[in-house]
Amino acid sequence: MSEILLEVKKLITAFDTDNGLLRAVDQVSFDVAKGKTLGIVGESGCGKSVTAMSIVKLLPQPAGRILEGEILFKGKDLVSTSPEDMRKIRGNEIGVIFQEPMTALNPCHRIGKQLSECFLLHKGMNKKEAWEASIEMLKLVRIPAPEQRIGDYPHQLSGGMRQRIVIALALACRPDLIIADEPTTALDVTVQAQILDLIKEQQQKLGTSMILITHDLGVIAETCDEVVVMYGGRVVERAPVLDIFHNPRHAYTKGLLASMPHMDTPRKTMLPVIPGMVASLQNFVHGCRFCQRMKREGSVLRERPIYKEISPLHWVEACPLCVEGL
Amino acid sequence: MQDLLSVENLKIHFPVHGGVFKRQIGAVRAVDDVSLTIAPGETLGLVGESGCGKSTLGKAIVRLYKPNGGRISFQGEDITHATQSKIRPLRREMQMIFQDPSESLNARHSVRSILEEPFLIHGIGTKDERKKWVAELLDRVGLPSSSADKYSFEFSGGQRQRIGIARAIALKPKLIVCDEPVSALDVSVQSQVLNLMLELQQEMGLAYLFIAHDLAVVKHISDRVAVMYLGKIVELADADSLYRNPRHAYTKALLSAIPVADPAAKKERILLEGDVPSPINPPRGSAFGHRMKHPLYEQTVDKDLPLTEIAPGHFVAADPCCLTAEDYALMS
Ligand SMILES: Nc1ncnc2c1ncn2[C@@H]1O[C@H](COP(=O)(O)OP(=O)(O)OP(=O)(O)O)[C@@H](O)[C@H]1O
Ligand SMILES: Nc1ncnc2c1ncn2[C@@H]1O[C@H](COP(=O)(O)OP(=O)(O)OP(=O)(O)O)[C@@H](O)[C@H]1O
Ligand code: SF4
Ligand SMILES: [Mg+2]
Ligand SMILES: [Mg+2]
């Protein structure tokens, strides 16, 4: 077994809303080994980003808070870490790439200023060195004409360029852990391949670990060692990447894999979908949230299925209705 | 059939300022001599390298940018230089869905007011009617009707994109420019949204300009596909023909880079060496040839590399650097 860098244990994160407390993340557990990449997939709104934001303590305030659980990073519990210490950890030991680049970039500052900040703050460089290091980062993420672009404001860049700026920001301080929330969705596939190679290179060189949140199952297949599948705020399946694709066990994972369009799917035909829609968090049930979607009734909605290791390293939270042989 | 939209030799340039006096020292040639058409009820897919000008082209079509050259006609009417007052009624017919939903949805407004806005702007319906329409729209895009009284920040990225789609279809437009409408969605919701877009297209005879990076998705929803590289369209064909038989070297590289959803798959990827060219000082000849340091690059300097029909309905830039010798011979 390789060394564990991050361990999330029974994390519960909730939001205060007009309709009461919403559990967006409900007892989520996983760990990330040093140098490895863990993928998180799951339906829109299932809590992937909230899980990521919980780890770095950037939950929307004041509504979001961690109710229970532990987040052990290098053995230290981040849940109880002070905001000042968290600020030092973010950007230095943990690099974060956010889902919507515009929310991560300050629209009023030139990107050069935003990039230099990391080098000034964490790496003790002077202004000139930081500026040059920033140009170097832009080159690394394949931004053409970096010397000119460094003076641009975020709105002057294309969507993919902005996303690469955020990636550059996250990589700049050579963190131990990269949390990447949809890092390449705004990129074309050739640039995406280059950026993923770049991240992999840094991982190999520095032993960096990564949590990669993406709905692009192709990217998951090509990048991750292990995959966590979330549904309705919970981890419903977790396995090494080959098992997820070749031997999915939970009904949701199977549905997810089936709904992907393939190159040989006949054009303009209806794609398979998972019936129903995800129940609102307000209609919280203790039992299985996927059964709730399937409009099943009875004890499945009252009792939460057990989270079990059904074969080595392959975990599923499901009852027999969903997974044969359990 | 008459084209719904026709774009001829469109140019969109952004000024670049520099030097001590912040004078204009150049221009970003984001869209450089682009021509295309879209028929009623048709989907034209648009793919290409990040930063090649897809969003700018989309925004120019719905007239969020003023063209620096060329012509845009919508339903036979020249709208290239239409004034704001003439554009307003056009907004009912032409809508846009954006790449980053947080850019277009006002976080301080409830979903109801976001969805009512198009009706209010055009003075349509009574209060009760609007309420009913908002509920119908939410239902149409698969959100619970209780969403109406929430704020957009309370939704996940994917849910917000559905709100964006609901607003775009509110006024039953004829054309929607979709800038990466499903990039923020997981595949199970993505397939629902794609199905929804296909259904709406059939029901309402909608046409789409569909910009995306996921080539399988583009293939699935498009009738024809255009490939852009550094401000120019380099290949345009029937979707099946483009994917089965790509002619341009960039299209080939693009198709080879599609990640495969099978960790056991081994694949050959065409690696793109060289620096991504900048639209600020684009090379004078073939942009892709320049990047590849192609021996025939010099031949293309200051030459027109027009889109030429190489097979019925299949157009590709007549660029000796980017075509096989056989294909290039077919063109001359
Ligand atoms: N500020 C907030 N206030 C209330 N609820 C919120 C807030 N932010 C997120 N939520 C809720 O938490 C849930 C999880 O959201 P999250 O952003 O983690 O989803 P996600 O899995 O990242 O989805 P996507 O794939 O669409 O990005 C959603 O149902 C969302 O409505
Ligand atoms: N408002 C603006 N001011 C100056 N330059 C701009 C502006 N908008 C876009 N550009 C430039 O125009 C070029 C094309 O950008 P555009 O956003 O159209 O690319 P894109 O093809 O949509 O890329 P992506 O796939 O990354 O979204 C880029 O070089 C970009 O920096
Ligand atoms: S059958 Fe069981 S595992 Fe499947 S969805 Fe229902 S409770 Fe969950
Ligand atoms: Mg998210
Ligand atoms: Mg764009």
**Helix residue spans in B172-286 (DSSP H):** 187-204, 215-221, 239-244, 249-256
Suggest the residue from B196, B203, B213 to mutate for an interface test with chain A (most A CBs closer than 10 A): B213
Confidence class of residue B140 from pLDDT cuts 50, 70 and 90?
confident
Q: Are A54 and A30 in contact, with CB atoms under 8 Å apart?
A: no
Per-residue pLDDT, averaged over A261-272, amounts to 90
Please state, for a pLDDT cut of 70, what percent of chain A lies above it: 97
Q: Which residues line ligand 1 (CB under 6 A)?
A: A 15, 17, 22, 24, 42, 44-50, 60, 63-64, 99, 281; B 153-158, 186
Helix or strand (DSSP H, E) at B228: strand B224-229
Quick check: B263 and A222 CB within 8 A?
A: yes
| Closest CA to ligand 2's atom 3 | A156
Q: Which ligand sits closest to the CA of A185?
A: 2
Per-residue pLDDT, averaged over B31-53, amounts to 95
**Helix residue spans in chain A (DSSP H):** 48-55, 83-89, 101-104, 111-122, 127-140, 146-149, 159-172, 189-206, 217-223, 241-246, 251-258, 289-293, 299-302
Chain B nearest-CA distance from A75, in A, is 31
Three-state SS at B9: strand
Select the residue of B49, B155, B156 nearest A191 (Cβ to Cβ): B49
A265-293 exposure pattern, b = at least 16 Cβ within 10 A, e = fewer: eeebeebebbeeebbebeebeebbbbbbb
Q: Tell me what pLDDT residue A323 has.
A: 67
* C-alpha to C-alpha distance for B218 and A116, rounded to whole angstroms: 38
Q: Tell me what pLDDT residue A230 has.
A: 95
Q: Are A53 and A78 in contact, with CB atoms under 8 Å apart?
A: no
Could you tell me which of A129, A149, A154 has the C-alpha nearest to residue A138?
A149
> In terms of CATH architecture, what is B5-90+212-331?
3-Layer(aba) Sandwich (3.40)
Name the residue with higher pLDDT: B167 or A1. Answer: B167
* C-alpha to C-alpha distance for B2 and B22, rounded to whole angstroms: 46
How many angstroms does the Cα of residue B227 sit away from the middle of ligand 5?
14
Q: Are B95 and B177 in contact, with CB atoms under 8 Å apart?
A: yes
Q: Tell me what pLDDT residue A326 has.
A: 45
Ligand 4 (single-atom ion) residues, CB below 5 Å? A 49, 99; B 157
Select the residue of B155, B191, B198 nearest A259 (Cβ to Cβ): B191
Contacts of B159 in chain A (CB under 8 A): 44-45
Domain edges within chain B: 5-90+212-331
Contacts of B65 in chain A (CB under 8 A): none
B290 pLDDT exceeds 60?
Answer: yes
Contacts of B214 in chain A (CB under 8 A): 216
Chain A nearest-CA distance from B316, in A, is 20
Q: Nearest-CA residue of chain A relative to B19?
A: A148
A138: in domain: no
A102 pLDDT exceeds 80?
Answer: no
Domain CATH number, residue A83: 3.40.50.300
What range defines the domain where residue A64 resides?
A: 4-93+173-317
Confidence class of residue A219 from pLDDT cuts 50, 70 and 90?
very high
Q: Which two tokens stand for residue A297?
A: 């009734």
Q: Which residues line ligand 2 (CB under 6 A)?
A: A 155-161, 186; B 14, 28, 30, 48, 50-56, 279
Q: Tell me what pLDDT residue B98 has.
A: 81
| Closest CA to ligand 1's atom 6 | B154
Q: Tell me what pLDDT residue A145 has.
A: 86
Quick check: B144 and A191 CB within 8 A?
A: no
Give yes or no for residue A318 CB within 6 A of ligand 3. Answer: yes
Phi, psi for residue A238 in degrees, rounded to 5? -150, 130
Task: Mean pLDDT check: name the lowest of B122-136, B196-210, B258-272.
Answer: B258-272
Q: Tell me what pLDDT residue A324 has.
A: 55
| Closest CA to ligand 3's atom 6 | A291
Contacts of A144 in chain B (CB under 8 A): 51, 275-278
Task: Mean pLDDT check: name the lowest of A144-148, B224-228, B325-329.
Answer: A144-148
Q: Nearest-CA residue of chain B relative to A193?
A: B257
Tens of pLDDT, residues B61-76: 999 999 999 999 999 9
Q: Are B30 and A161 in contact, with CB atoms under 8 Å apart?
A: no
Q: Tell me what pLDDT residue A56 has.
A: 95
A146: in domain: no
Per-residue pLDDT, averaged over A128-132, amounts to 92
B95 forms beta bridges with B176
Per-residue pLDDT, averaged over A186-214, amounts to 90
Could you tell me which of B255, B326, B310, B319 has the C-alpha nearest to residue B292?
B319
Tens of pLDDT, residues B203-255: 889 999 999 999 999 999 999 999 999 999 999 999 999 999 999 999 999 99
Q: Tell me what pLDDT residue B248 has.
A: 97
Tens of pLDDT, residues A236-249: 999 999 999 999 99
Q: Rounded to 5 degrees, what angle do the CA atoms A271, A275, A276 make?
A: 130
As for how many domains chain A has, the answer is 1
Q: Is the dihedral of CA B78, B236, A197, A53 positive or negative?
A: positive
How many angstroms does the Cα of residue A153 sit away from the middle of ligand 2?
12
Q: Are A167 and A141 in contact, with CB atoms under 8 Å apart?
A: yes
B95 pLDDT exceeds 80?
Answer: yes
How many angstroms does the Cα of residue B230 sit away from the middle of ligand 5?
13
Quick check: B187 and A217 CB within 8 A?
A: yes
Quick check: A259 and B153 CB within 8 A?
A: no
